[in-house]
Amino acid sequence: MSQTSPTPEENMPFVHYAERIRAAAARNPSLEVIKCEGETRTWAEFLPRTNMVANMLASRGLGRGDMVAVLAKSSIEYLEVFLGALQAGLCIVPLSGMASSEQLEVMVRDSGSKLVFASQSTRDLIEPFRGRVEGVAEDGYVAFDFAGDGWTAYEDLIKGASTDHLYVDVQETDPFNLIYSSGTTGVPKGIEQSQKMRSQHILRFEALGIREGAVTLVSTAMYSNTTLVALLPTLALGGRIIVMPKFDTEKFLEIAAAEKVTHAMLVPVQYQRILAHPDFDKYDLSSFEVKLSTSAPLREGVKRDIITRWPGKMIEIYGLTEGGIGTALSCTEFPDKLASVGKPGEGVELRIINEAGEQLAQGEIGEIVGRSDAMMTGYHGRQDLTEAMIWRSPEGKVFYKSGDMGRFDKDGFLFLLDRKKDMIISGGFNIYAADIEAELAQHGDVADVAVIGIPSEEWGETPLALVVPKDGSGLTEAGLTEWVNGRLGKTQRISGVEFRDNLPRSTIGKVMKRELRLPYWEAANAS
């Protein structure tokens, strides 16, 4: 079965993101376009600073296709670098502070970034490899909010640069940003998104009501595609953004009420925490027009609670950072379909296939594949991985594989059922069980291991390691938990270890993880 939604306006001329920003600033130069921790910037104040970044980069010989990395807390300066680099035709590499230092070194090296920007909160992650990544200049490690040997102060770097606009002939196929997946083994996958892909995101969010006058509250990290798909269109379409460097339930509610926020993109665990706040119903949230959720499935009961208690539309989005696949469920419009993730978005074509790559009929369960006008260029420098992501239809169309299992109902709504690749989504972050298993397997006293996702009130789900210890090892569950968590990135850390005598396996030797997960989820659903 194939499900397709109409394509947005065809043959829309490509507009470089920097041109959209210049136009928005020209229309309303006095608008306080950004607010972060009490600091505000009007377009008249903010745009010249982005111009300084662009001209500084150009003066260093950087231009179309070159990359700069940012590993920092969300801030106005972060946005200056992001938009300035785009104006100069560069590609931004936003890095996660939840990754380990070893992972980050691999990402900086793999991307070929020429500069690395950091804040005090992320400095310790960079120090172990600062100065040893080829291609990053001696003065190429830039500090936003601290001073230190071997670091160039951000203000010193841009001092004296021109505040004039820099015009670069950027093409729609040029890279816009490079977002890395997590991983502790091998080279993490760099997802390269093009200028065209981001332009399509702007058109789609314009259809969701983001426009001049919109106020978007940003409370997830700027390295996440979840954040960027809402933040970037808001700026480009003339709205305001309120930035929370760190999410806090009460502060979110206070800001939303005081600033008359109209839009927010959140992950499921944030919705759960906000709705559970004892004073939630006392806050005036009547200004909300649209709330969005993505990154992990939003439980049906939470969706119902949102549409009952929180004004404005509620839309759940299912998709991939790689693009191609995308659905939207208007919870307020289809309250009888809350167990689904909706229908294909504009210009999206979805199909369900079996292990043999054959298309399945409506109602049958298989892997979800999709294509659209917003798809990544590919995995950076990894054509082999890009090709492995592709399913080609009998007509020769290129679809991306999701790794998720699902089915369509008779009305064309998509229902997610299981994750084909045992991916665990905790607090909106993707965690791959195979990476944690590989670390645990390196311990000399571990005979066998499987990592599964179990329910978590705080994070939605959390990784748990089921370990078969070697005879006479003397291992303790607490000791092994501490050992492996010291080797993992923050988001990958396990909630605990449980010892088992053996792990259930199929006749071909595969660990039957569905069987392992079932008791935990049955208990959670029964409570």
Give residue-wise pLDDT tens across range 27-64. 999 999 999 999 999 999 999 999 999 999 999 999 99
Give residue-wise pLDDT tens across range 508-525. 456 788 889 889 988 887
| Least confidently predicted of 6-10, 105-109, 111-115 | 6-10
pLDDT at 506 over 70: no
Residue 21 resides in a domain: no
Residue 162 resides in a domain: yes
CA 117, CA 94: separation in Å to the nearest integer?
A: 10
At 404, the pLDDT band (50, 70, 90 cuts) reads confident
The pLDDT > 70 percentage for the chain reads: 95
User: Which domain-ending residue is among 150, 169, 188?
Assistant: 169
β strands within 260-413, DSSP E: 263-266, 290-293, 313-319, 326-330, 343-344, 349-353, 366-371, 378-379, 390-392, 398-408
What DSSP letter does each residue of 130-155 carry, written as one string? TT-STTS-TT-EEESS---TT-EEHH
pLDDT at 184 over 50: no
pLDDT at 420 over 80: no
Output the pLDDT for position 355.
Answer: 87
Structure tokens at 255: 């800001």
Output the pLDDT for position 183.
Answer: 44
CB-based contact 260:287 (threshold 8 Å): yes
Structure tokens at 137: 């200049």
Structure tokens at 436: 């944690």
Output the pLDDT for position 112.
Answer: 97
Give residue-wise pLDDT tens across range 444-459. 899 889 999 999 888 8
Pinpoint the alpha helices (H) of 413-473: 433-441
CATH number at residue 89: 3.40.50.980
How many CB atoms lie under 10 A from the CB of residue 384?
A: 9
Residue 509 resides in a domain: yes
Residue 52 resides in a domain: yes
Output the pLDDT for position 308.
Answer: 97
What residue type is 171 in one-letter code? Answer: Q
Output the pLDDT for position 490.
Answer: 87
The CA distances from residue 410 to 2, 298, 364, 498, in Å, are 12, 22, 11, 42
Of 116 and 270, more confident: 116
Of 236 and 208, more confident: 236
The CA distances from residue 271 to 216, 234, 316, 495, in Å, are 16, 21, 12, 22
What DSSP letter does each residue of 313-357 carry, written as one string? EEEEEEE-TTBS-EEEEETTT-GGGTTS--EE-TT-EEEEE-TTS
Output the pLDDT for position 494.
Answer: 94
How many CB atoms lie under 10 A from the CB of residue 506?
A: 9
CATH number at residue 430: 3.30.300.30
Backbone dihedral angles phi then psi of residue 153, each to the nearest 5 degrees: -65, 135
**Which residues form the domain of 82?**
42-169
pLDDT at 408 over 80: yes
Residue 471 resides in a domain: yes
Output the pLDDT for position 5.
Answer: 63
Residue 25 resides in a domain: no
Output the pLDDT for position 1.
Answer: 60
pTM over the 0.95 mark: no
CA 316, CA 338: separation in Å to the nearest integer?
A: 9
User: Which domain-ending residue is among 169, 187, 213?
Assistant: 169
As a 3-state breakdown, the chain gives helix, strand, coil percent values, each rounded to 5, of 30, 25, 40
Give residue-wise pLDDT tens across range 187-230. 679 999 999 999 999 998 998 889 999 999 999 999 999 999 99
Mean of pLDDT values over 119-135: 95
Mean of pLDDT values over 269-298: 92
Residue 392 resides in a domain: no
Beta bridge partners of 450: 466
Count of structural domains, the chain: 2
b/e per residue 264-297 (b: at least 16 CB within 10 A): bbbbbbbbbbbbeeeebeebebeebbbbbbbbbb
**H/E stretch holding 467:** strand 460-469
The pLDDT > 90 percentage for the chain reads: 75
Output the pLDDT for position 12.
Answer: 67
Output the pLDDT for position 43.
Answer: 98
At 299, the pLDDT band (50, 70, 90 cuts) reads confident
CA 365, CA 361: separation in Å to the nearest integer?
A: 9
Output the pLDDT for position 526.
Answer: 73
Mean of pLDDT values over 171-193: 82
Residue 407 resides in a domain: no
User: Which domain-ending residue is among 144, 169, 194?
Assistant: 169
At 421, the pLDDT band (50, 70, 90 cuts) reads low
